Amino acid sequence: MGLNLNDKKAVVAEVSAKVATAQTIVVAEYRGIQVGHLTQLRAKARTQGVYLRVLKNTLARKSVEGTQFANLADSMVGPLIYSISDDAVAAAKVIADFAKTNDKLVITAGNYAGKQLDKAAVVALASIPSREVLIAQVLGLMLTPVSAFARGLAALAAKKGEGAAPAAEETAAVEEAPAAA
């Protein structure tokens, strides 16, 4: 049973709201994938904060109409699953990772910040580390000179401490010697 006009308007409104805040949309053909595998894909998408939905292409075209993703409408042909995310790489990463383990999911197109992407570009986008990993890498690079300086100071203090220990022993030996005499 198909959707009535009000249901279609509700779907378009829901998807349009997601598209309005999205940075990336990835479109993949899902023909022949078992329901259990699609359920796993949806669960992974949910944990990554990715909106994943099977839509009628006409409704998807209406949802992206007038947005930066409008040029994606030409690629909306066949049974497609739409992956939409606010994170620049999350949608591509979820679809590309799943496509590695399931050859029936075929990436057809994508769009990042208004730029049309082909399959190779979507896979390349998916290989970029997530925002959190990039921030951690930058912080690690920023902390490297500071931690190296701290290790240098600690080594210098340890070296001076080693030199001070024999001097303290000599002082104690000198003090004991006159007392013994």
Q: What tens digit of pLDDT does each residue of 22-55 get?
A: 888 999 998 888 899 999 999 998 998 899 988 8
Give the per-residue pLDDT at 88: 82
Q: If you average pLDDT over every residue of the chain, what do you get?
A: 83
pTM over 0.85: no
- Burial string for 52-84 (b: 16+ CB within 10 Å, else e) reads bbebebebbbbbbeebbbeebbebbeeebbbbb
Give the per-residue pLDDT at 163: 60
Distances (CA, A) of 139 to 69, 84, 129, 149, 152: 33, 29, 15, 16, 20
Low-confidence ranges of the chain (pLDDT < 70): 1-2, 163-181
